[in-house]
């Protein structure tokens, strides 16, 4: 069965399932979900634990051997399969299916790995596995929900933060929840040093105590531009540049997004509604707002102009032009964000 992360505690309390599969790309949330499962099963007597790191060279015979060792005196055990990729090879699928056909109540199988794509979730072998256990798809915390998530974590540690402090904290830790928890621990220590049971957190304290640990990826950058958030898109671009990412990676992702928008904009020009267009294009639900905002603002002529600009940036990156590719990427994202020429000049 598929369950949401917030349903995990209730499911653990009411079901004794033989298998859990955690899927996602957010390390902290994946770690916390796995810890919750381990804790519950340890209370149920699963005192042993075996961890198997699954990569391309992994021998699935090792898994079958671990699950096939039966003994009258064997203790209950958690067997973890940590997947390095989202796709299992045929040997892995067969090994898990074989185990589920001969379940051992003394074992819990805990799989964890990168986010699975929609096509995999619909396959026959996966739905067969899903019938025996719980599949938990863990999504990253987006910027819109990060404020409330941080407020809850701060309150849990006895820290009350005003609105300005939370917004500043969001800017400093966005995209890096592990860093967010480290900063909360730092603030908790600060509260302990004052001898008070709780601390009131304001923007000044955040500026003094919290490091800028924000971490972005190219897809977050594109969504910020599609949403028309000029300042955030430019900050992300600077962050990616400082991390040493090759500019061609960013350009390729932007071009791919622009080409995806073209047929949607054609349908919009023909009179189709934005919601219907997004539905037919199978846009992921967490990107619908960004794509809808872009469709409302852009037209096909604008997108073609952006693609022409992209071609020039490609020449810059390859040394065929003297222009600075990072400056040109900044201009490209400004135009994609909907900034007019006056704003462009001001921001540059």
pLDDT tens figures, 315-334: 998 888 888 999 999 999 99
| Spans in the chain with pLDDT lower than 50 | 341-348
Q: What is the pLDDT of residue 186?
A: 79
Q: What is the pLDDT of residue 340?
A: 62
Q: Specify the 3-state DSSP secondary structure of 240.
A: helix
Q: Give 143-209's CATH code, choosing from 1.10.357.10, 1.10.8.60, 3.30.70.890, 3.30.565.10.
A: 1.10.8.60
Beta carbons of 221 and 317 less than 8 angstroms apart = no
- List the CATH code of the domain at 2-138: 3.40.50.300
Most distant CA atoms of the chain, gap in Å: 78
Q: What is the pLDDT of residue 73?
A: 55
Q: What is the pLDDT of residue 69?
A: 64
- List the CATH code of the domain at 218-347: 1.20.272.10
Q: What is the CA radius of gyration of the chain?
A: 24
Rounded Cα distance, 151 and 292, in Å? 29
Q: What is the pLDDT of residue 74?
A: 61
Rounded Cα distance, 245 and 258, in Å? 21
Q: What is the pLDDT of residue 229?
A: 92
HSE value, Cβ hemisphere, 13 Å, CA-based, for 180: 28
Q: Which two tokens stand for residue 225?
A: 């531009």
Q: What is the pLDDT of residue 344?
A: 38
Q: What is the pLDDT of residue 304?
A: 95
Q: What is the pLDDT of residue 190?
A: 67
Backbone angles phi, psi at 103, to 5 degrees: -60, 140
Q: What is the pLDDT of residue 56?
A: 86
Q: What is the pLDDT of residue 348?
A: 31
Domain boundaries, the chain: 2-138, 143-209, 218-347
Q: What is the pLDDT of residue 342?
A: 35
């Amino acid at each position: 069965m598929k369950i949401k992360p917030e349903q995990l505690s209730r499911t653990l309390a009411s079901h004794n399932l033989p298998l859990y599969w955690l899927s996602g790309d957010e390390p902290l949330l994946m770690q916390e979900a796995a810890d919750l499962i381990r804790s519950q099963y340890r209370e149920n007597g699963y005192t042993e634990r075996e961890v198997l790191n699954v990569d391309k060279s992994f021998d699935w015979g090792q898994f079958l051997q671990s699950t096939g060792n039966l003994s009258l005196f064997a203790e209950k055990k958690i067997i973890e399969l940590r997947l390095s990729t989202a796709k299992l090879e045929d040997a892995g699928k067969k090994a898990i299916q074989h185990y589920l056909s001969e379940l051992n109540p003394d074992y819990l199988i805990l799989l964890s790995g990168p986010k699975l794509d929609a096509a995999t979730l619909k396959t026959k072998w996966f739905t067969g596995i899903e019938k025996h256990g719980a599949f938990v798809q863990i999504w990253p915390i987006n910027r819109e929900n990060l404020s409330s998530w941080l407020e809850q974590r701060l309150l849990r540690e006895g820290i009350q933060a005003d609105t300005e402090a939370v917004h500043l904290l969001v800017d400093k830790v966005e995209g890096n929840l592990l860093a967010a928890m480290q900063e909360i621990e730092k603030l908790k220590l600060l509260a302990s040093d004052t001898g008070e049971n709780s601390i009131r957190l304001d923007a000044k304290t955040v500026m003094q105590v919290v490091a800028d640990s924000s971490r972005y990826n190219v897809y977050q950058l594109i969504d910020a531009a599609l949403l028309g958030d000029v300042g955030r898109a430019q900050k992300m671009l600077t962050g990616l540049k400082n991390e040493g990412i090759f500019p061609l990676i960013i350009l390729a992702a932007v071009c791919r997004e622009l080409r995806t928008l073209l047929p949607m904009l054609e349908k919009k020009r023909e009179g189709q509604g934005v919601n219907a267009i997004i539905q037919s294009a199978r846009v992921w639900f967490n990107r619908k707002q960004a794509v809808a905002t872009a469709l409302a603002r852009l037209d096909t002529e604008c997108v073609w102009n952006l693609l022409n600009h992209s071609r020039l940036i490609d020449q810059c990156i390859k040394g065929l032009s003297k222009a600075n590719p990072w400056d040109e990427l900044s201009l490209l994202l400004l135009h994609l964000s909907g900034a007019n020429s006056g704003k462009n000049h001001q921001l540059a």
